[in-house]
């Protein structure tokens, strides 16, 4: 009951008690009854009107524990006070002295989000629609997105703490009302927790007190050189990538990853995962193949569902404080890139559908991400890819980037499939691009529009949020364009619709109640021994054995092993950062020495262990070809040796750009060599040196590859998608038996790669090795031979 009602009730009861006391002749016989009545009255008063919460002082914030209700956290520097009603505590986030609907944790999330959206200014909603560029903690002196300063100086010269907010972060949180932050690297889990508390303390005292919703791209990858020690912890648990977990063919393992990952994310202050990547990997040359879950629609659908269930569901089931919003990507499937070229660049802008097979690419979304069995219902957010899904708009017939395509978002995603979660653009689609080959903005199909016009077109298409945008100015401009076209009432309603969607994702994970972290709990949670053990066991289950001539594996004894050094050619990444050439051991030799006797000469060895990577056959564009009079487009090769695209298409399926004066992107007749052709030479040269002695080849694969160049010189072949070297040694030594299966096909040659259709799964001729085994989807070996179990029967 309200405080005033409580006091009136108490006064009435106390008056009745006094009247009874004066009218009763007090004796020893009735004295106990009178005192009992008084005690009951006091108890009733305390129960009805007394506080039902306790306070606890933490490092930099205060926690309020409501009896049977939500736990609150607030910072003393924010100026936020506690309101009480019915004995419970609530945060007065907008400091008006009244318990507003959105501040009442007892009410449904939809009701709270709607109330808050109605109270927000257009500027506040515009800020909510922003998603920051990449933020490292602390920030480096300069990043791709510009200089990072603390009080006007680089971090190393500033005297700032690693957990302090950078100058840019202070600006976009206060002046631009941004509340969604993408976090990349962090100095340590403890630094991440303190940064979170600093950021939350700042925004809690501003405007409506909307907390920061931090996010992350996948961050649980394995450090190959790290040694696993049972009972030891780490900075974060290390798992194979999702493609590696998919190789287990066990959705339960993917769910376990999500459940553990969500706990570690929340302990770091991360409440949204910019994952999973559930693109169907039907184009084997695509550079983002290794971030997927494979090419089979049924397997990917089951894995996608398990991943999201694990991240979004709390231990109690449904949404809770351990939940992490999952932003699935990339609608409507980024896999069928023509020729394998990626849409981070203009040369890869087009996704094509020569097999008329959009339906398979939608399946992981419609039957997986939007059809959850737990209490969260559907993935909290969706990210469209940069691609132009060529000729898939059957209503407006527009060929523009997916984030600008009204048919794909409003008609298909929201209309046909009924999705009402957040739609966030991929990063940088509203920024400018001046050519097709540099890492710039990605406004494919709308290059001629202004930045503000692109924002408006994305809003009109149905998007709620802009990835990689720190400034609200262009969003305000887009709003004003909408006012001119639709009127202020309609544009206000449109913005509130997006605000409600965005706010629901913040409310559901409990950030409005307590966005703060206990640093000691963070330290004990992230990378704890239990989580590290689970991740390591998952790595073991992700390693696929493709070949094992004469039962070369396992090597049970401590035999002598020769491990040749690997040459790594100089390279340049997307951001233009150059890595010089080097010669190195590809495996942690201290780990190898724990299992076998390492020798330096092949003639002294019992067997050789050669570790390489799958062919790096380029990106499909070469500026030198353009400068020499060509169109710039070249093949992407899945083999090490020289490849000439004699059977490529004469005319590309899609093409044309505001940045080019031609539309045919063919690369027919052009040649390319893999950047790591030396890996093929390393295998074959080692075999010559070893003679009849076995060569075990371990390949870190990032996409399918042609094995014909090296397979005959390998006695055994293991492939993995990113594991610790120790996991490989556990397989090789027989400590663990391999159990994983191929979640994709290995092509017989580059002819079948050129003939396959970009949008069709499992349509290549698989490679057949010298043992007669076909490296097809769902193939794998254990010590007894080809694996034929329930997993194979279910998915193949």
**How much is the pLDDT for 292?**
98
- When pLDDT is cut at 50, 70 and 90, the band that residue 25 belongs to is very low
**Which has more confidence, 56 or 578?**
56
Q: What is the pLDDT of residues 436-483, one digit of tens each?
A: 999 999 999 999 999 999 999 999 999 999 999 999 999 999 999 999
Q: What integer is the mean pLDDT of 107-113?
A: 98
Q: Which residue has the higher pLDDT, 50 or 717?
A: 717
Q: Where are the alpha helices (H) located in 439-562, listed in sequence order?
A: 451-461, 473-486, 488-508, 519-525, 529-540
pLDDT, the chain, mean: 93
> How many other C-beta atoms can be found within 10 angstroms of the C-beta atom of residue 340?
25
What per-residue confidence (pLDDT) applies to 339?
98
Q: Which of 59-73, 215-229, 490-504, 591-605 has the lowest mean pLDDT?
A: 215-229
pLDDT range class, residue 36, cuts 50, 70, 90 = low
Q: Which tokens go with 461?
A: 């298409």
Quote the radius of gyration of the chain (alpha carbons, Å): 30
d(CA 177, CA 128): 7
The DSSP H or E segment spanning 271 is strand 270-273
Show the tokens assigned to 31.
């004295």
Tell me the C-alpha to C-alpha distance, in Å, between residue 745 and each of 296, 487, 742. 10, 54, 7
Number of C-beta neighbours around residue 351 at 10 A: 31
Query: pTM of the entire structure?
Result: 0.93
Longest dimension (CA), the chain: 115
Burial class (CB in 10 A: 0-12, 13-18, 19+), 650: exposed
Check whether 257 has a pLDDT greater than 70.
yes
DSSP 467: E
Whether residue 332 has a cis bond before it, omega within 30° of 0: yes
The Cα–Cα gap between 601 and 326 comes to: 51
Question: What does each C-alpha distance from 365 to 333, 382, 454 come to in angstroms?
Answer: 9, 9, 26
- CA-closest candidate to residue 449, choices 394, 393, 398, 395: 398
Rounded to an integer, the average pLDDT of 607-627 is 97
Question: Which residues, other chains included, contact 697 with Cβ-Cβ below 8 Å and sequence gap of 6+?
Answer: 610, 611, 612, 683, 710, 714, 716, 717, 718
First-to-last CA distance in the chain?
62
Cα dihedral 409, 436, 466, 193 sign: positive
Q: Are 618 and 636 in contact (CB under 8 A)?
A: yes
Q: In this predicted model, what pLDDT tens digit does every residue of 64-100 receive, in sequence order?
A: 999 999 999 999 999 999 999 999 999 999 999 999 9
Q: How much of the chain exceeds pLDDT 70, in percent?
A: 92
Q: What is the DSSP code string of 75-114?
A: -TTTT-EEEEETTEEEEETT-SSS--GGG-TTS-HHHHHH
Mean pLDDT, residues 341-365 taken together: 98
- pLDDT value at 685 more than 90: yes
For residues 246 and 294, is the Cβ–Cβ distance under 8 A?
yes
Using a 10 angstrom Cβ sphere, with 0-12 exposed, 13-18 middle and 19 or more buried, the burial of residue 544 is buried
Helix segments in 554-604, DSSP class H: 589-593
8-state DSSP, 679: H
- Find all residues with CB under 8 Å of 776, minimum gap 6, and list them: 742, 745, 746, 762, 766
Residue 686 token pair: 């080692």
Euclidean distance between CA atoms 428 and 345, whole angstroms: 11
Dump pLDDT digits (tens) for 373-398. 989 999 999 999 999 999 999 999 99
pLDDT at 573: 77
pLDDT band at 7 (very low <50, low <70, confident <90, very high): very low
- 612 - beta bridge partners? 699
Angle between helices 3-23 and 28-49 (to 10 degrees): 180
pLDDT tens for residues 10-19? 554 445 444 4
Task: Compute the distance between CA of residue 381 and CA of residue 69 in angstroms, rounded to an integer.
Answer: 27
Evaluated on CA atoms 341, 343, 348, 350, the torsion sign reads positive
Cis peptide before 330 (omega within 30 of 0): yes
3-state helix, strand, coil in the chain (%, to 5): 35, 15, 50
Distances in Å between the Cα of 535 and the Cα atoms of 203, 245, 289, 538 are 35, 10, 22, 5
Contact present, 437 and 341 (Cβ < 8 Å): no
pLDDT of res. 15: 52
Say whether pLDDT at 777 is over 60. Answer: yes
Euclidean distance between CA atoms 381 and 312, whole angstroms:
11
Q: Which of 415, 420, 411 is nearest to 380 (CA)?
A: 420
Check the CA dihedral 712-713-715-718 and report its sign.
Answer: negative
- % of the chain residues with pLDDT over 90: 88
Kindly state the tokens that stand for 195: 């940064």
Predicted pLDDT at 225: 63
Q: Tell me the CA distances in angstroms from 13 to 17, 38, 39, 49, one per residue in order.
A: 6, 10, 12, 13
Buried b (16+ CB within 10 A) or exposed e, 568-607: beeeeeeeeeeeeeeeeebbbeebbeebbebbeebeebbb
Q: What is the pLDDT of residue 9?
A: 43
Q: Any idea which residue has 């996991």 for tokens?
A: 727
d(CA 273, CA 265) in angstroms, rounded, equals 8
Q: Annotate 689-735 with three-state secondary structure.
A: HHCCCCEEEEEECCCCCCCCCCHHHCCEEEEECCCCHHHHHHHHCCC
The whole-angstrom separation of Cα 41 and Cα 323 is: 43
């Amino acid at each position: 009951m309200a405080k005033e009602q409580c006091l009136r009730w108490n006064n009435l009861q106390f008056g009745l008690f006094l009247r009874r006391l004066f009218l009763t002749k007090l004796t020893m016989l009735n004295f106990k009854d009178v005192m009992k009545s008084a005690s009951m009255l006091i108890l009733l008063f305390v129960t009805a009107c007394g506080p039902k919460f306790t306070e606890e002082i933490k490092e930099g914030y205060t926690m309020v524990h409501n009896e049977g209700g939500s736990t609150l956290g607030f910072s003393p520097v924010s100026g936020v006070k506690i309101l009480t009603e019915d004995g419970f505590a609530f945060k007065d986030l907008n400091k008006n002295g009244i318990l507003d609907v959105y501040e009442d944790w007892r009410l449904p999330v939809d009701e709270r989000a709607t109330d808050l959206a109605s109270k927000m200014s257009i500027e506040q909603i515009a800020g909510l629609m922003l998603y920051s560029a990449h933020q490292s903690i602390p920030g480096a002196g300069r990043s791709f997105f510009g200089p990072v300063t603390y009080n006007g100086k680089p971090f190393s010269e500033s005297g700032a703490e690693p957990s302090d907010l950078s100058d840019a972060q202070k600006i976009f949180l206060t002046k631009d009302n941004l509340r969604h932050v993408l976090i990349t690297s962090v100095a340590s889990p403890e630094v991440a927790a303190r940064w979170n508390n600093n950021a939350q303390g700042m925004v809690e005292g501003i405007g409506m007190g909307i907390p920061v919703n931090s996010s992350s791209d996948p961050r649980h990858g394995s450090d190959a050189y790290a040694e696993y020690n049972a009972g030891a912890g780490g900075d974060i648990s290390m798992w194979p990538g999702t493609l590696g977990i998919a190789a287990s063919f066990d959705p339960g393992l993917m769910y376990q990853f999500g459940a553990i990952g969500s706990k570690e994310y929340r302990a770091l202050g991360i409440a949204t995962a910019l994952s999973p990547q559930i693109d169907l990997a039907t184009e084997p040359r695509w550079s983002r193949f290794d971030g997927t879950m494979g090419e089979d629609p049924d397997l990917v659908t089951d894995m996608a569902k398990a991943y999201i269930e694990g991240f979004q569901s709390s231990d109690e089931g449904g949404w809770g404080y351990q939940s992490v919003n999952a932003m699935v990507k990339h609608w409507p499937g980024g896999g069928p890139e023509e020729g394998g070229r990626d849409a981070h660049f203009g040369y890869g802008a087009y996704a094509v559908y020569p097999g008329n097979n959009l339906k398979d690419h939608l399946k992981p979304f419609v039957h997986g991400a939007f059809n959850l069995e737990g209490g969260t219902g559907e993935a909290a957010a969706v990210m469209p890819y940069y691609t132009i899904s060529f000729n898939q708009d059957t209503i407006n017939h527009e060929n523009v980037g997916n984030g600008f395509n009204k048919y794909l978002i409003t008609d298909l995603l929201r209309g046909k499939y009924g999705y009402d979660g957040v739609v966030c653009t991929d990063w940088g689609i509203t920024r400018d691009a001046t050519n097709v080959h540099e890492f710039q903005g990605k406004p494919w199909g709308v290059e001629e529009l202004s930045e503000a016009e692109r924002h408006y077109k994305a809003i009109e298409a149905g998007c709620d949020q802009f990835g990689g945008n720190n400034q609200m100015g262009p969003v305000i401009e887009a709003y004003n364009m909408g006012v001119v076209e639709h009127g202020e009432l309609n544009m206000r309603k449109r913005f509130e619709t997006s605000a409600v969607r965005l706010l629901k994702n913040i409310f559901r994970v409990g950030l409005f109640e307590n966005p703060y972290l206990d640093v000691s709990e963070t330290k004990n949670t992230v990378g704890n021994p239990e989580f590290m053990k689970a991740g390591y066991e998952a790595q073991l289950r992700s390693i696929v054995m493709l070949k094992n001539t004469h039962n070369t594996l396992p090597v049970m004894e401590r035999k002598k092993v020769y491990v040749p050094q690997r040459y790594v050619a100089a390279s340049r990444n997307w951001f233009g950062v150059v890595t010089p050439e080097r010669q190195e051991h590809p495996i942690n030799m201290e780990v190898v020495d724990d299992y076998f006797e390492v020798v330096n000469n092949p003639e002294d060895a019992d067997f050789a262990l050669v570790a390489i990577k799958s062919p790096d056959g380029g990106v499909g564009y070469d500026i030198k070809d353009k400068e020499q009079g060509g169109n710039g487009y070249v093949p992407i090769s899945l083999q090490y040796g020289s490849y000439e695209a004699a059977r490529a298409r004469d005319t590309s399926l899609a093409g044309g750009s505001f940045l080019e004066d031609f539309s045919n992107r063919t690369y027919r007749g052009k040649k390319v060599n893999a950047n790591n052709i030396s890996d093929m030479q390393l295998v074959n040269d080692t075999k010559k040196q070893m003679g009849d002695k076995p060569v075990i080849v371990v390949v870190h694969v990032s996409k399918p590859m042609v094995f014909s160049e090296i397979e005959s010189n390998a006695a055994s072949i293991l492939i993995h998608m990113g594991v610790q070297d120790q996991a490989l040694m556990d397989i090789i030594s027989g400590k663990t038996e391999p159990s994983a299966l191929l979640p994709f096909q290995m092509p017989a040659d580059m002819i079948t790669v050129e003939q396959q259709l970009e949008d069709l799964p499992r349509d290549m001729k698989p490679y057949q090795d010298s043992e007669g085994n076909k490296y097809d989807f769902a193939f794998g070996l254990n010590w007894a031979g080809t694996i034929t179990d329930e997993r194979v029967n279910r998915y193949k």
